[in-house]
């Protein structure tokens, strides 16, 4: 019983690996379903959400409030989905949100550039030169997006438990390793890890609710005790506190909800 996140570049056979792993372990395989759920829950079009998570900010552009809000919606839908356990997720940077959750097995699948080009040429019916350009551009954009959002390089192997290079190793080899690793003790759900997941989902839900009303906050939760951090001025803090009081009645699972302003944010806030 665990959560497996599979990070991959385009045409790296990550989706194939994810689906086979899910099939072998009897887990649910999700990717786009998170976008659909976020879209339904927060009443935002799927296209806008996809644009928010695909387009990296330009050098002159900071992440706009809209983009931050949409990303938070996706994170909230993602975290609440993963509370169910026994899931294989393949998509953008899911593992980075789940940093610190012990029963998450984080996998990265990489493939040879020439194999990726060949796959893209076959699927998209374009020539090799265009395929290569597209892949390089896509890799660069994904890297930039992850760095701007999470401050880490997604190609850094230390972010993952296992990095598998599909070249001499086949998709079936990768599936075997992942299934083997997923069944080890370290990746089994425990009470503590389940609680951490609940806390993460709660923090994301609260943050999304506050961002909807243009409060720029960071949130952390521990056993249902939620702290909302803000850099806003006194007047805004008053409004925020009012909103937070209503939220504590609306959302289940909150033991205590406090606002902290003018303080340094702890490192693991959402």
Partner 1 sequence: MSIITISSDSYQLSQEIAEKTADILNYKCLGREILTTIAETDNIPESGLHNALDGSKSLLRMTGRVRNRYMACIKSAVLSRLLNDNTVCCGLAAHLYLSGVSHVLKVKILSDFKEHGSRIESEKKFSPRKEQHWRKFLEASQIDKTDASRYDLVINLGQIEKEKAVHIIIDTVKDRKFMPMTYSINCIEDIELESRVHKLLIERFPHSAVQAKRGSVVVKIRTFKYKKQEKSNAIKEMLNKISGVVHVDVYVKNYISWH
- For partner 1, which is the closer residue by CB, 155 or 265? 155
- For partner 1, which is the closer residue by CB, 125 or 158? 158
| SS3 (DSSP) at 88 | strand
Q: How near is the Cβ of 158 to partner 1 at its closest, in Å?
A: 5
Q: How near is the Cβ of 109 to partner 1 at its closest, in Å?
A: 10
Q: How near is the Cβ of 217 to partner 1 at its closest, in Å?
A: 30
Binding-site ranges for partner 1 (CB under 8 A): 102, 105, 108, 110, 112, 153, 155-158, 160-165, 167-170, 173, 176-177, 180-181, 184, 186-187
Inter-residue contact 224 to 256 (CB < 8 Å): yes
Structure tokens at 169: 């190793």
- For partner 1, which is the closer residue by CB, 40 or 153? 153
- For partner 1, which is the closer residue by CB, 43 or 168? 168
Q: How near is the Cβ of 75 to partner 1 at its closest, in Å?
A: 22
**Which of 141, 198, 157, 98 is closest to 10 using CA atoms?**
141
Helix runs in 83-190, H state only: 94-97, 113-124, 128-150, 171-182
Structure tokens at 71: 């990303």
What is the distance between the alpha carbons of residues 121 and 89, in angstroms, rounded to a whole number?
Answer: 26
């Amino acid at each position: 019983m665990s959560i497996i996140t599979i990070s991959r570049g385009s045409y790296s056979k990550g989706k194939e690996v994810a689906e086979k792993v899910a099939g072998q372990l009897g887990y649910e395989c999700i990717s786009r379903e998170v976008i659909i759920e976020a879209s339904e829950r927060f009443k935002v079009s799927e296209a806008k959400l996809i644009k928010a998570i695909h387009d990296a900010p330009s050098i002159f552009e900071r992440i706009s409030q809209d983009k931050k809000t949409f990303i938070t919606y996706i994170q909230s839908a993602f975290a609440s989905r993963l509370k169910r356990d026994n899931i294989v997720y393949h998509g953008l940077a899911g593992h980075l949100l789940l940093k610190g959750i012990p029963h998450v097995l984080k996998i990265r699948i990489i493939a040879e550039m020439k194999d990726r080009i060949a796959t893209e040429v076959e699927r998209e019916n374009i020539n090799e030169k265009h395929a290569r350009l597209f892949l390089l551009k896509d890799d660069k954009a994904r890297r930039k997006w992850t760095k701007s959002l999470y401050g880490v390089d997604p190609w850094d192997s230390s972010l993952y438990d296992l990095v598998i290079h599909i070249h001499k190793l086949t998709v079936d080899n990768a599936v075997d390793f992942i299934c083997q690793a997923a069944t080890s003790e370290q990746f089994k759900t425990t009470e503590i890890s389940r609680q951490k997941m609940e806390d993460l989902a709660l923090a994301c839900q609260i943050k999304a609710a506050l961002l909807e009303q243009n409060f720029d906050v960071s949130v952390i939760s521990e056993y249902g005790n939620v702290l909302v951090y803000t850099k806003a001025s006194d007047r805004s803090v008053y409004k925020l506190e009012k909103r937070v009081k209503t939220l504590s009645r609306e959302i289940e699972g909150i033991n205590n909800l406090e606002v902290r302003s003018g303080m340094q944010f702890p490192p693991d806030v959402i």
